[in-house]
Amino acid sequence: MATGIVIYKCSCGDYHPWGFDGDCRDDDNSYSSPEEYAEQNDLDLDDIEVRAIDAEDDEVDDNKNDEGEGDDDDDEGDEGD
């Protein structure tokens, strides 16, 4: 059962509590993943809802497991110099 804990993925790449609007370098409010947020706050991962920063109050981010990793495939195959 969800407890209404909402976090969002910021443009800085970290996750923040929904009501956070401070400095992204504030380590007390920056988490590398929903899993880290759950661990640091003694929650079950299922109790956390991830939303997009520009989401409405009832809109859920469908890409909550997307870590935002870039595609590095462009450099493959450039072995000859």
Token pair 């407890």 is found at 3
The domain segmentation of the chain, as residue ranges, is 5-59
Q: How far is CA 28 from the centre of its chain?
A: 15
Query: DSSP letter string over 48-81?
Result: EEEEETT--TT---TTTT-------GGGTT----
**The pLDDT of residue 55:** 58
> What CA–CA distance (Å, rounded) separates 46 from 17?
15
Helix (H, G, I), strand (E, B) or coil at 29: helix
Residue by residue, pLDDT tens for the chain (81 residues) are: 345 799 999 989 999 999 888 898 888 899 999 999 999 999 999 999 999 877 555 555 555 445 444 444 455 555 554
pLDDT at 43: 93
